[in-house]
A and B are shown apart, each in its own frame.
Chain A
Amino acid sequence: MEPYMPHVLAFSAILAYIALGIVLLRFRGARSPIVIMLIASLVPYGSFLLLSKPLDMLHYTATYFFGLMCFLFFWGGLFKSISVRIICDLLEEETRTLCVEDIYEKYLLTESFKGRLGILIQSNYLMLDNNGNYKLTEAGQKFVRRVSFIQKIYKISASG
């Protein structure tokens, strides 16, 4: 086998992964898109590996890993970035203009901030007490302790 074949096959596997991701995301229902994309990444990797024996695993895996990281970096930005959301909302406007206050009220506070609080409650990291105040659950406290430790290593004083 030519030395560059594992790279060609890995990039083909990445294209197959993106196509599979597009299809699966359309029919995801209420399932988490992140979980879908992570599980889906194993399917083309394994399929191309089985179909093209013998294959240099190191070259193939490294190239697939690179393609996967590039795609997840881009897709993660599309999915979670507030800046991307602002740009896309601006494009939807006829005048390509948005009021800062509108972005804050409609999107950031109502959709995004309250949405994140909802996700954190769903993930069992937060809970609402009887007075409508937010408290960390035991799992949330454990998570915060771990992150605080990492932030101390990097001397990060405040995130956000």
Chain B
Amino acid sequence: MLEVIPRSLIYYMIMTCCSIPVLHVFIIRITKSYGESARPLLFSCAVSLLCWIGMLFYMLTFTQLEISTNFIASCATSLFIYFGFVLGYLEFFSLINRGYSLSIMMDISRRTIPPSISELENEYADGRGLRWMLTKRVKGLSALKLVTENNKQIVLNKGWSTYVARILYKAKILFSIKGSG
């Protein structure tokens, strides 16, 4: 039986991962928070991981399970499944929440008369306009202290911000990405 337990840790983790979207929607509904907020998502990810850790401690306490290499390998696999799933789910949620092309399509679908390019530009993201998106992105970069906004100009900060920029720039060359966005 003790041989089976490390394997069951992985199956519990798969079940835990499946519960993340359910818990996420549940939290949004009961707290009446906006879906755009990242907090319910982070909270549901943290709660599900804590549940799994609780299960792990329960097994270690009540099943005389020994910490063997097999056990450690199963824990590592479980965590790989968890973080892999969370990354995939984050990507999916970000697409639904912040998708650029998606927003253009949603704006067109809301209108009864087909819009021109300038109408689309001004009414992007439910009437907020394309400039709003740029402001949002610049504010995000400022909050991360990567850039400083000064007199309608953006300046790349010195120090680690420049290192981050260099890494991203070189990675773009390595993967043959011309432009982007």
Contacts and interface: CB of A to CB of B under 8 A. Distances in A.
Contacts of B134: 82, 100, 103-104, 108
Nearest to B32: A155
A2 to B, nearest CB: 7
A60 to B, nearest CB: 9
Size category, A interface:
35 or more
Given A3-B69, A66-B84, A80-B180, A159 B98 contact: yes
Nearest to B127: A158
Chain B CB count within 10 A is highest, among A69, A143, A150, for A69
Chain B CB count within 10 A is highest, among A96, A131, A136, A158, for A158
B154 A159 contact: no
Contact of A136 (B108, B153, B171): B108
A107 B181 CA distance: 9
Interface string A65-87: 11011101111101111111111
B28 to A, nearest CB: 5
B168 A160 contact: no
Nearest to A99: B153
A87 B156 contact: yes
A159 B97 contact: yes
B105 A143 contact: yes
A62 B84 contact: yes
A120 B117 contact: no
Contacts of B73: 3-4, 6-7, 59
Contacts of B103: 158-160
Interface in A72-127: 72-76, 78-88, 90-92, 96-101, 103-104, 107-109, 111-114, 116-117, 119-120, 125-126
Contact of A88 (B113, B149, B169): B169
Given A66-B83, A100-B138, A22 B147 contact: no
Interface of A (DSSP majority class): helix
Contacts, number: 254
Interface in B146-162: 146-147, 149, 152-156, 162
Contact of B162 (A65, A91, A100): A91
B130 A159 contact: no
Given A81-B180, A90-B147, A90-B165, A129 B104 contact: no
A126 B152 CA distance: 34
20 contacts: A33-B177, A69-B84, A70-B87, A83-B137, A88-B168, A91-B166, A98-B154, A100-B134, A103-B134, A103-B154, A108-B133, A108-B181, A114-B117, A116-B101, A131-B116, A134-B120, A140-B105, A140-B109, A156-B35, A159-B98
Interface of A: 2-4, 6-7, 21-22, 25-26, 28, 33, 58-59, 62-63, 65-66, 68-70, 72-76, 78-88, 90-92, 96-101, 103-104, 107-109, 111-114, 116-117, 119-120, 125-126, 129, 131-136, 140-141, 143-144, 147-148, 150-151, 153-160
